[in-house]
A and B are shown apart, each in its own frame.
Chain A
Amino acid sequence: DIQMTQSPSTLSASVGDRVTITCRASESISFYLAWYQQKAGKAPSLLIYKTSNLKSGVPSRFSGRGSGTEFTLTISSLQPDDFATYYCQQYNSYFVTFGGGTKVEIK
């Protein structure tokens, strides 16, 4: 199976900060990388698919890039609603796998 490693596991930031989360795959997954946001006590929701495509309704302050084995999720100006845990997911193979998550906390 393809291992997904996210860093950092926790990120402390302030409203207005630019934040970047990294996700690394143990082997190439082409562009088949998605990002999910999970707020406390809620189900995850899809933010970005195929590395850089925002799901309809997702604010443009979110962006994704990368290819192969290294990917990033960037929030250009952190808003109060963005404090949550973020997961990357590879879907290059049928055995989809997730990263361990990055919790974005208020500094």
Chain B
Amino acid sequence: QITLKESGPTMVKPTQTLPLTCTFSGFSLSTTGVGVGWLRQPPGKALEWLALIYWDDDKRYNPSLKSRLTIAKDSSKNEVVFTMTNMDPVDTATYYCVYIISGRLFDSWGQGTLVTVSS
């Protein structure tokens, strides 16, 4: 059974950096074809893909946010770390960690973590 769980601060101030960790089980990020990604969903709005990292350390970012995002993996710890710099109130959203198959299919999701950006 695949599980993913997001952890990190629930509130950050404007201009701060948001660090999030995805801790997963039920698969290995060393397995060919596997990836882990991050998405977000502002309250009442649609989903937005942010970043993903594959088993071979290939990383991809949403072009519109690329300058603010970083993703990295620690396969030995079954963790993926994600950071977003220069946070703004419009970045208030639920952030999801996902298990990726077939390139860009989001097969399993974490429960999500609501991050509020406010001074």
The count of chain A contact residues (Cβ–Cβ below 8 Å) is 21
CB of B63 within 8 A of CB of A45, answer: no
Instruction: Say how far A93's CB is from chain B's closest CB, in angstroms.
Output: 8
Q: Which residue of A lies closest to B109 (CB)?
A: A43
* Max count, chain A CB within 10 A of own CB: residue among B47, B60, B109: B47
User: In chain B between 99 and 119, which residues have their CB closer than 8 angstroms to a CB of chain A?
Assistant: 102-112
CB of B46 within 8 A of CB of A34, answer: no
Instruction: Say how far A69's CB is from chain B's closest CB, in angstroms.
Output: 18
User: In chain A between 37 and 77, which residues have their CB closer than 8 angstroms to a CB of chain B?
Assistant: 42-46, 49, 55
**Neighbouring A residues of B27 by C-beta, 8 Å:** none
CB of B105 within 8 A of CB of A34, answer: yes
Instruction: Say how far B104's CB is from chain A's closest CB, in angstroms.
Output: 4
Instruction: Say how far B97's CB is from chain A's closest CB, in angstroms.
Output: 10
**Neighbouring A residues of B110 by C-beta, 8 Å:** 43
CB of B109 within 8 A of CB of A94, answer: no
Say if the beta carbon of A97 comes within 8 Å of chain B.
yes
**Neighbouring B residues of A55 by C-beta, 8 Å:** 107
Instruction: Say how far B59's CB is from chain A's closest CB, in angstroms.
Output: 11
| Given A43-B96, A43-B111, A44-B109, A91 contacting B104 (CB threshold 8 A) | yes
Beyond contacts A44-B96, A46-B107: 19 other A-B pairs, Cβ-Cβ < 8 A, are A1-B63, A34-B106, A42-B111, A43-B96, A43-B111, A44-B47, A44-B109, A46-B108, A49-B102, A49-B105, A87-B47, A89-B47, A91-B104, A94-B60, A96-B49, A97-B49, A98-B46, A98-B49, A100-B46
